[in-house]
Amino acid sequence: MIRPAQPEDAFKAMELVMIVLKDMELDVFDKLSEQQLKNLLAEAFQDLPDYRYGYRNAIVKELDNDIAGIAFGYPDHLEKHIDSPYIDFLYSRNLSDEYRLFNELETFKDEWYLDTIVTSPHFRRRGVASDLLDSLPILAKQHDRQIIGLNVDQVNKGAQKVYLNNGFGKVGEIEIAGHQYDHLQKKFAI
């Protein structure tokens, strides 16, 4: 079952997000332990619903009464301010904006942007990512977008294959956190 994320999904959701963030080798891991960051993000997921990793920007796939995967995204026009609530949240915890996760702009114009998608290691090879990808047009339509965009690390051939097999095509390249990414898009009818 695919469903909107709920505040009570926070810790499981952030366990999954941490898989992606660690792969990205973000600078924040030089400042905070993995557990500290996971706790901050879980609290933000619950308390900042419109933040990049807030529950309103996520859908989950459930299997066997567990969260098998999660996807976060938002329309391009929200990108410039999507992290503002988190920066205020950091300041309220006596942390500076140096503890933010991302500095780069990642979206292309007129797209609904898939920021993060991740499958639990316990549920891999069961179609979780494909099911989540198939559900994204509904979210994009809610924001009057007919294009879904995403970035995939150029060295992650497995993820590239999943996206290409699901109808995405390369439209550009971008650097995020010192890594080169292909920007992929998929267009669908509204």
Q: Is the pTM of this model over 0.85?
A: yes
pLDDT of residue 25: 84
Q: Does the pLDDT value for residue 79 go beyond 90?
A: yes
Determine the Cα–Cα distance for residues 179 and 154; give it in Å rounded to an integer: 8
Tell me the H-state helices in 24-122: 34-47, 84-92
What the chain holds in terms of domains, given with CATH numbers, is 2-187 (3.40.630.30)
Q: What average pLDDT does the chain have?
A: 94
Q: Is the pLDDT of residue 55 over 70?
A: yes
Number of neighbouring beta carbons within 10 Å of residue 169: 11
84-111, pLDDT tens digit by residue?
999 999 999 999 988 999 888 999 999 9
Q: How far apart are the first and last CA of the chain?
A: 23
Going by the DSSP 8-state scheme, the letter that residue 185 receives in this structure is: E
Closest C-alpha among 118, 105, 186 to residue 158: 118
In this predicted structure, the answer to whether residue 80 has a pLDDT above a threshold of 70 is yes
